[in-house]
Structure 1
Amino acid sequence: MRLVGYGDRMSVPAGGEVAFRISTDHPRVRPEIVRLRRGGGPRHGSAPVEEPVSADLPATVPGRVQHTTSGSHAVTAPLSPRSGLGLALWFRPTLPAAERPLLAVGALVLAVSGTGLVLRDGDRVLLALDVPVAERRWAFAAAVLDGPTARLELHRPGLPVAAAEAATGSVTAAGPLWIGSDGTSGPGLGRTFNGGVARPVVGVPWSAAVTEALACGADPLTLLDPATTSALDLGVDPGGTRVPDRGGLTTGADVHHLPTRGVPGPFWTGTERDFRAAPVEFDALHLHDDDLADAGWDTDLTWAVPADLPSGVYALKITAGTGPTVDTDRIPVVVTPAAPTAPVLVVLPTWTYLAYANWRTYAEYETERLTLYGEDRGIDERDRWLARHPELGRSLYDVHTDGSGVCYSTRLRPIVNVRPDYYTPTTRGFRHFAQDLLLLDWLDGRGEDYAVVTDDEVEQQGVDLLSRYRVVLTGAHPEYCSAGMLDSYLEYTRTGGRLMYLGGNGFYQVTARHPGVPAALEIRRGHAGVATWVSDPGEEHLSATGEPGGLWRLRGRAPNVLAGVGFTAQGFDKGSGYRRTAASADPAVSWVFDGVKAGVGDVFGDEGPGLGGAAGDELDRADVALGTPADAVVLASSVGHSERIALVPEEVDHGYAAPPPGPHPKIHADVVLFHRPGGGAVFSVGSIAWSTAMSHAGGDNDTARVTGNVLDRFKES
C-alpha cells in the first residue's frame, strides 16, 4: 500500500476536532471529507456509496513516508556517568534464539540469546557466558563491573551456577536505564526482548554473596544502600504506564507499548491466580517485539467538524497519484450528535472492530482457510501488505511473534480492515464495519431520523446517553463489551428503552478500556469459548481492572440475560433461513410479520448476498437456563444448517452420551421478542448475517420487513 493513514480517534462530537496521520511515497496527497452511506466494492457485488462534504481542508498536503517501531519496554531518565555498576534481572525467554537486550545503561548492555549471556559496551564484547537458556523457564542474570574486571553469572533453578570473569578495563556507563531494550530503534519490529522480566536491580558494584542472595529472592534494598540502588517495582499498578523505583537511584520508569502485565513472576506459588490477592508474586512484564500502543506518526491535517454537521459515519478520503497509479484510502470517523434530536440511535460496535483490528490470519493462514471454507475465497490484498508490517500491531485473535496471545489492541495505528470497501473472506464480502454501513443504508432508504455513536460513548456516558433515544439499534457483531456497557443496556431496557439487537455473538467477551492507554482495549481469553489462543496460567485477570477475563457467560452474565439469546454455533459455508413458529401467530406479536410472505411454519430470509441467508456466520439461540426471560417469545428459528456449522465449545455436551446424529439441535438462531417491566422491550435476531440479508433486492425482502415492523412499533408504542 502506497497510501494509508489513521485518525487519533474513531468518533468525534459535532463541533470537535480529529487529527489524521498519513504515510505515502507520493509527493502530494489530495484530502476530502465524505459521508459514508454504504459499504461495498467490486468483490462485494455492490458499489460503495459516499457523498462529498464541504470541509475547510487544504487542496493538497505534502506526502511523506512515516515509520513505526514496535516493541514494549521500560525506561528511566538518564543516569549520571559511573565506572562501577551492578546489573541483575530475572528473565523468562519466550523466543530465545536471537540476541536481545535484558538491561542497558546507555551503551552498556546485558543481553541474552539462545546460546547464553553477553555483556557489551557498544560494539565491544566485554564478557560472554556460553550457557544455553531454557525457553519459558525463569532464570536470573547478573553482571558486576568493579574497576578493571567484570563478572557475569547465570542462575537457573535446579542447575549449577554458571559464571565467568574477565579483565575489561575501565568502563563508564551513562544514560537511561532500559528494561528489555537498549534504546536502538528503526522501522519495523523493535529490538526488544521477548519474554518475561522481573525484579531488575541496578546499583554500585556488589559481591558474589549479594548476587547469590538476589538469586534466592532477597530484597535488594536490605543488601544494598537504597540511595544508590534502583529496584523498579514492575508489579505496581498493572493498568498504568509507569512503575516506581523503591530505591533512590531513579525516579521510576515509563512503560511503553503495552507489555502484558498482571502476570506471574519467578516466585509465583500458584496459590493465587488474581494479581490483586498476591501482588508481590505478579511482578513481571511480558515483553514482545510486536507490542504497540501508538504507531507514533505525526499529524498531517486536522478536521474541525462543524457543530451543525448531522451525526453519521464520515471519512477522510485521501487520494494520490493519477491514472493507473492512483491510490486511495478512506479513514473512517463517526460524528456523534451535538444534541439528541433523533428517536433512533445506532451503536457501532467499535470495540469489536478493535478486537479484530489488523487480523492477519487471512494472509498468514490462507492455505488453511481453504479447508475451513471448502473453497478458495481469496483475500483482500491489504492483508498481504499487513502481513509484511508486523510492527503495526496485531488483533486480539492473533498471537505475538513468540506465540503468546495478544491481549491489547489500540486504535492509534492504521487499521486496514476497518474500511468501507474491505473484503472479508469469512462471509464472502461484508462483515464488521462494511456490513454495519449496510444497516445505515437501509435506515437512509426508509428516511429514518437517526444518530450514530460508538461503543466508546456507551462506555463513557452509559444509560444517560441511551435514555435520550426511543430505540437503540446495535451493529451486527457487538461481541466485546465491558461490565458498564452491559449494565447500561440492561438499565435502559428496564426503564422503558427499546433495544434491537441486530446481530449475533454479542455481549460475549469480558473487555475493558486500558486506563493508562485509553486508546487501547484489553481482554484475557481465559480457557473457554471460541478462541485462537488461551491465557497462560495466572494470566486470566485483566490488568486494566483486575476482573477475571473470558466469557461473560462464565461470570453469570450470559448474553441471554440482556438480549434473550446467546452465542451457540458458528460456520461459514452458507447462510440459512428462519421458520416462523406457531407462537408468532399470537395477535400480541403477529404484527412483527405484517407484509411478510411467510406464514406460520414457512421459511423466510433464505436469500441475500455473501453467505446467502439471514441465519449465518455466528448464531445465537434462546435458552431460559442461561437467562432468556421466561416470557420471551421465540418468533422464528433457523433451519437447514449443514454439518459444517459447529457448536461453540461452551455449548458442547459433556458426559458419556453420544451426540444426536446430524446437526446438533442447539445449532440454530432464534428471533425473540420480550418486554421488560417498566415499558422497555428487546428484539433480537440471533445472527450476524441478518443485516446483510436485509440488503437483498434493494431492501425489498422479508428480513427487512420484519426489522422495519419492529422498528416502527418500538418508535411509536
Structure 2
Amino acid sequence: MNNHDLMGYADRWSTKQGDEIQFKVHCSSTLGYNVQIGRLWGPLQSDGSHPCHFEAIDATCNGIYPAQSQTTLCGSSAVFPSVSIDYRLGFTLFLFFCPTLLQHTHPQTLSYIRLNNSTSLTLQVSLAGELELLIEREGDHQSTSLPIKLAKEWYACGISFCFASGSLTLWCKSLYRGPNIPAELYVKKGFPTGDPKLVSELSITVAGLPKPQAVTRGSYLSFNGLIEYPTVFEGVMSPEHLKQISKTDFSDLLLNSVIASWDFSVGIATETVFDRSTNAAHGKLINQPARGIPGRNWHSDSPSWISDPNSYTAIHFHSDDLIDAEWEDSFSFLVPDNLPSGIFAAKLSCEDTHYFIPFIVRAGTNKKSRVAFLVSTATYIAYQNHRSRYFSSANERLHGRLNILDDIDLMFIRNNQFGLSTYDRHADGSGVYYSSASRPAFNIKPGGRLWNFAADLLIIKWFRDIGMPIDVLTDEDLHREGLHAVANYDVVLSGSHPEYVSYVMYTSLEQFVSDGGSFMYLGGNGFYWRIAFHSSKRGVVEIRRTEGVRSWDAGPGCYYTSFTGERSGLWRANGKPPQKFLGVGFIGQGFDISSYYRRTSTCATAAWVFKEINSDILGNFGLMLGGAAGLELDAIDYELGTPENTIVLATSENHSNTYELAIEEVLTPHGATDGLLCNKIRSNIVLTRPFHDGGWVFSAGSIAFVGSLAFGDTSNDISRLVRNILMMFLSKKA
C-alpha cells in the first residue's frame, strides 16, 4: 500500500482528561485500517517500528475501521448570500481586480453568478490568460472573451446582463494603460426573453466556484490575484456608464441602484465580508485568503491597515489556499480521567503502511510534575507540509551535499493538494501567510528526520530515561491562557526549535520568570518570528516575513497581521530581541555537520553546572549531524540586550564553511561570513537572570543540542550538564 493512501488529522492538538478528540482519516484500501492509541516516548524509526518508544494503551476506539474516501478542495473565495433583483431590469456586477498569475494549469474564476438556479455566468481568466465569460442556461453553453492578454496590474470590470431582454455586456478597462481593452463586447444571441418575473434570486461567489460546483470539478478553480469592491447594481449599464462607475469612490458609494457592495477594508480580522448596502448581504471567506492587503489606491505613507483601513481594500486570493480540509469524522477518542499528561498519537495501520496523528494530553487537576514542557506547536504548524527541501534551488548549497529524497519528500510530491507551509510560495509567487493544523501533515510525525516534532521527542525520551515525570502543554495553550497556563510550575522548558512566538506567549514566559520561575531553552533560533494566532480557529497561525532570514518577503504595506493588526517579522525588529530574555539570539546556520562546545566558564559560582563533567570538550557526539552545536545557532550579544549577569558556560567552535551569518547580522556585504572565516558564528550555552530578583534562564543555543542530550545513556556530558541545571532550578524552588 502506498503511503499516500492512508492519512489523517485531528481536530485539535491539545486535550485534557474528559475531552473528546475527533480524528479524520482517508484510507483507500478495501482492507480498511487499524487504529491504536499510544503514548510516544521518543522518536520512531521511519517505518514506525520502534516499539519501546510507542506504548499502546487501551482505548475503546482501538480496532479496525472501513475504508473511507475524503475530498480536499483547495483555493480561496468569497461567498455571498442571495440577493433579490428585478428580473425585468437585469443587473450589473462590477469589480476591480489585479491578476498575479497570468497563466495557470486551470481556468481561474473571478466570479460565479447564478440566477434562479437556471442560468450561470462564470467570469474567468482563461488558460491563455484572457478574460473569458461562460454562460450556461438549462444545458446550453456559450462563451465570449476579450481578446487581450492580461497583465499584472489593476483592471475595472463589469458584467451587465438582462435575462428578460437577452442582452449581455462584458466590459474591462486597465486602470493604468488608459484606453479600454479593447472596449466592450455584446452577446444577445441565444437568450430568449420568455415571461419576465418580478423578482429573481441572484447568488454570487467571487474568486472561485461555489462548493457544489467545486466538488464536481475537484477544485474551487480559484483566481490568483487581488479583488476589491465587488458591487451589484440594479439594471443594465452601458460601457460608458461602467467607465464612469470605475472612477467612483466606492468607499462613499450610496447610490439607490446598489443592491450590494462588499467592502473588503471592513472587518479585516474576520472571515466576514461586509456589505455596505442597506441589504446587509454579508458574505464569508473560504480557505483564508490574505486580508489587510493594499488596494489599488494604496500609498506608501499607509504602512498598516490599523491606521488607514481605507487603503487596504483588497483581498489576495490563491488557487492553493487551504485552511481546513473539512474532512468528515472517522473516529473519536475520549481522553480517560486517569490518563497522565504526555505526547500521544493515533497510529493508523494498513498492511505495511503506518501513519501517526499526534496530540498532547495536558495535566488535569491531579497535576504531579513541577516541570512543564512547552511543545512548539506554533513552529510545527508554520513548517507543516514544508516543501522547500526538494523545491528550493539552494538545498545542496545549504547542506553541503547532494540531498536524497526520503519517504516524507515523496509523500509531499504525491500529495500537493494538502496546503503549504509558511516557508513556501503560492502558485503566483507570493508568500504563504497562513498555516493550519486542520489538514494532513506529512512532516509532523514521530519518524523520519530529526527536526521539530521528531527532535522534540528526544526531550521526552530523556526525561523518561532519568525517571522524572513532566507535564506538557502547547504554544496555543500558552497563548490562549497566558501566564495561568504555566504559573503553577517551577520550571518550564522549550523544545529544540521554538522559532514562532506570539506576543502573549513571549510576555507570559517573561512574567513567569520575573515571578521566580525558571525557563530552560533547549534549542536554537528561538523567539525569532512574531506571529499571530487566529482568534477562534484552532491551530491557525499567521506570519508576515519582513527582515531576517526568509524564503519570501511580505512586501510594502503587508507587514502587519490580518488577525491582530500587530507588526509581524522578527522579534528583534519589534523591540524584543531574544537576547534580552534568553541571553542569546540567532546568529547563523549550517546543515552539513554539527560541532562541539568548549567550556569557557571558570566562574566559581557556576562550578556546580559541571559537576561530574571531567572534560572541557562537550557534546562532540549526537544524533543530529554528529554534535551538540549545529543546524541553527544562537549567541550572546550585549548590544542587543544580553544581561550583564549572563554566565557563558561554553562556546562552540570549528564550524564549517556551509555555516553562514544570519543576514540581519551583515550590515555591509563582504566575503567573510562563513564558519571558517567569521568568529561570530558560534553557539553560546548560557545562564542568565533577565529580571532583578526573578528566576533563571538556561539557554542551549543550538537546535542540535537535544540530539546530544538523548545520545546513548544519561551519563554523557550534555545530559549531566542539563540535569545539574534542572536539579538546581528545582532545589531553589523547593
Range of TM-score over shorter length:
over 0.9
Kindly indicate whether residue 477 of structure 2 is the aligned counterpart of residue 475 of structure 1.
no
Question: Which residue number in structure 2 is paired with residue 218 of structure 1?
Answer: 249
Question: Which residue number in structure 1 is paired with residue 697 of structure 2?
Answer: 682
SS across alignment from 1:440? helix
CA distance in 2, matches of 1:36, 1:458: 22
Residue number among 147, 150, 159 corresponding to 1:143 in the alignment: 159
Question: Which residue number in structure 2 is paired with residue 251 of structure 1?
Answer: 281
SS across alignment from 1:384? helix
8 Å CA contact 2:582–2:688 kept in 1: the answer is no
Question: Which residue number in structure 2 is paired with residue 130 of structure 1?
Answer: 147
Kindly indicate whether residue 396 of structure 2 is the aligned counterpart of residue 370 of structure 1.
yes
Kindly indicate whether residue 649 of structure 2 is the aligned counterpart of residue 635 of structure 1.
yes
Question: Which residue number in structure 1 is paired with residue 727 of structure 2?
Answer: 712
- Once the two structures are TM-superposed, the CA of residue 93 in structure 1 deviates from its matched residue by 0.5
Paired residue type of 1:631: N
- Worse-superposed segment, 141-150 or 504-513: 141-150
Change (3 A) 1:657 1:618: closer
Change (3 A) 1:295 1:658: closer
Kindly indicate whether residue 617 of structure 2 is the aligned counterpart of residue 603 of structure 1.
yes
Paired residue type of 1:333: F
- Once the two structures are TM-superposed, the CA of residue 388 in structure 1 deviates from its matched residue by 3.0
Q: Deviations over 1:421-468 (max 9, x none)?
A: 032xxxxxx111111111111000111121011101111122122221
Change (3 A) 1:44 1:692: farther
- Worse-superposed segment, 387-396 or 487-496: 387-396
Q: Deviations over 1:516-561 (max 9, x none)?
A: 53431001001x1111111122111100111111100001100111
CA distance in 2, matches of 1:356, 1:412: 14
Residue number among 26, 31, 37 corresponding to 1:23 in the alignment: 26
Question: Which residue number in structure 2 is paired with residue 427 of structure 1?
Answer: none
Question: Which residue number in structure 2 is paired with residue 66 of structure 1?
Answer: 70
- Worse-superposed segment, 612-621 or 96-105: 96-105
- Deviation beyond 6 Å, 4+ runs, structure 1: 43-48, 655-661
RMSD: 2.2
Paired residue type of 1:498: S
SS across alignment from 1:315? strand
CA distance in 2, matches of 1:362, 1:154: 42
Question: Which residue number in structure 2 is paired with residue 484 of structure 1?
Answer: 504
- Once the two structures are TM-superposed, the CA of residue 610 in structure 1 deviates from its matched residue by 2.8
- Worse-superposed segment, 384-393 or 624-633: 384-393
8 Å CA contact 2:48–2:354 kept in 1: the answer is no
SS across alignment from 1:625? helix
Residue number among 592, 609, 616 corresponding to 1:592 in the alignment: 609
Paired residue type of 1:275: W
CA distance in 2, matches of 1:47, 1:376: 32
CA distance in 1, matches of 2:603, 2:688: 13
Question: Which residue number in structure 1 is paired with residue 337 of structure 2?
Answer: 307
- Once the two structures are TM-superposed, the CA of residue 402 in structure 1 deviates from its matched residue by 1.0
8 Å CA contact 2:289–2:316 kept in 1: the answer is yes
Question: Which residue number in structure 2 is paired with residue 38 of structure 1?
Answer: 42
Paired residue type of 1:72: S
CA distance in 1, matches of 2:610, 2:439: 45
Paired residue type of 1:633: I
Change (3 A) 1:694 1:277: same
TM-score by length of 2: 0.91
Question: Which residue number in structure 2 is paired with residue 624 of structure 1?
Answer: 638
8 Å CA contact 1:458–1:466 kept in 2: the answer is yes
Kindly indicate whether residue 529 of structure 2 is the aligned counterpart of residue 529 of structure 1.
no
Question: Which residue number in structure 2 is paired with residue 111 of structure 1?
Answer: 124
CA distance in 2, matches of 1:402, 1:167: 35
Q: Deviations over 1:475-518 (max 9, x none)?
A: 00000011111101111111100100000000110101022534
Kindly indicate whether residue 230 of structure 2 is the aligned counterpart of residue 200 of structure 1.
yes
Q: Deviations over 1:630-669 (max 9, x none)?
A: 1111111101111211001111143889779943121000
Change (3 A) 1:80 1:388: farther
- Once the two structures are TM-superposed, the CA of residue 214 in structure 1 deviates from its matched residue by 2.3
Question: Which residue number in structure 2 is paired with residue 167 of structure 1?
Answer: 188
Question: Which residue number in structure 1 is paired with residue 117 of structure 2?
Answer: none
Kindly indicate whether residue 665 of structure 2 is the aligned counterpart of residue 651 of structure 1.
yes
Question: Which residue number in structure 2 is paired with residue 574 of structure 1?
Answer: 593
Question: Which residue number in structure 1 is paired with residue 177 of structure 2?
Answer: 158
8 Å CA contact 1:79–1:250 kept in 2: the answer is no
CA distance in 2, matches of 1:483, 1:279: 23
Kindly indicate whether residue 430 of structure 2 is the aligned counterpart of residue 404 of structure 1.
yes
CA distance in 1, matches of 2:539, 2:390: 26
Question: Which residue number in structure 1 is paired with residue 521 of structure 2?
Answer: 501
Question: Which residue number in structure 2 is paired with residue 426 of structure 1?
Answer: none
SS across alignment from 1:590? helix
CA distance in 2, matches of 1:64, 1:43: 23
Kindly indicate whether residue 627 of structure 2 is the aligned counterpart of residue 613 of structure 1.
yes
- Worse-superposed segment, 247-256 or 138-147: 247-256
Question: Which residue number in structure 1 is paired with residue 304 of structure 2?
Answer: 274
8 Å CA contact 2:341–2:361 kept in 1: the answer is yes
Paired residue type of 2:441: I
- Once the two structures are TM-superposed, the CA of residue 203 in structure 1 deviates from its matched residue by 2.2
Kindly indicate whether residue 9 of structure 2 is the aligned counterpart of residue 6 of structure 1.
yes
- Once the two structures are TM-superposed, the CA of residue 48 in structure 1 deviates from its matched residue by 6.4
CA distance in 1, matches of 2:307, 2:157: 28
Paired residue type of 1:88: F
Change (3 A) 1:331 1:42: closer
- Once the two structures are TM-superposed, the CA of residue 182 in structure 1 deviates from its matched residue by 2.7
8 Å CA contact 1:190–1:290 kept in 2: the answer is no
Paired residue type of 2:256: D
Paired residue type of 2:111: L
Q: How does 1:287-366 map to 2 (within 5 A)?
A: 287-321=317-351, 326-339=352-365, 340-365=367-392
Question: Which residue number in structure 1 is paired with residue 481 of structure 2?
Answer: 461
Change (3 A) 1:333 1:658: closer
Give the length in aligned residue pairs.
698
8 Å CA contact 1:318–1:330 kept in 2: the answer is yes
Question: Which residue number in structure 2 is paired with residue 443 of structure 1?
Answer: 463
Kindly indicate whether residue 583 of structure 2 is the aligned counterpart of residue 564 of structure 1.
yes
8 Å CA contact 2:675–2:681 kept in 1: the answer is no
Q: How does 1:74-113 map to 2 (within 5 A)?
A: 74-80=78-84, 82=87, 84-98=90-104, 99-106=107-114, 107-113=120-126
SS across alignment from 1:715? helix
SS across alignment from 1:244? strand
Identity of aligned residues (%): 33
TM-score by length of 1: 0.93
Kindly indicate whether residue 574 of structure 2 is the aligned counterpart of residue 555 of structure 1.
yes
SS across alignment from 2:432? coil
Q: Deviations over 1:572-629 (max 9, x none)?
A: 1111111111xx222211111111121xxx3211111231110000000011111110
Residue number among 222, 229, 233 corresponding to 2:263 in the alignment: 233
CA distance in 2, matches of 1:77, 1:442: 55
8 Å CA contact 1:17–1:305 kept in 2: the answer is yes
Gaps of 5+ in 2: 115-119
8 Å CA contact 1:439–1:691 kept in 2: the answer is yes
- Once the two structures are TM-superposed, the CA of residue 213 in structure 1 deviates from its matched residue by 2.4
- Once the two structures are TM-superposed, the CA of residue 130 in structure 1 deviates from its matched residue by 0.9
SS across alignment from 2:446? coil
CA distance in 2, matches of 1:68, 1:329: 18
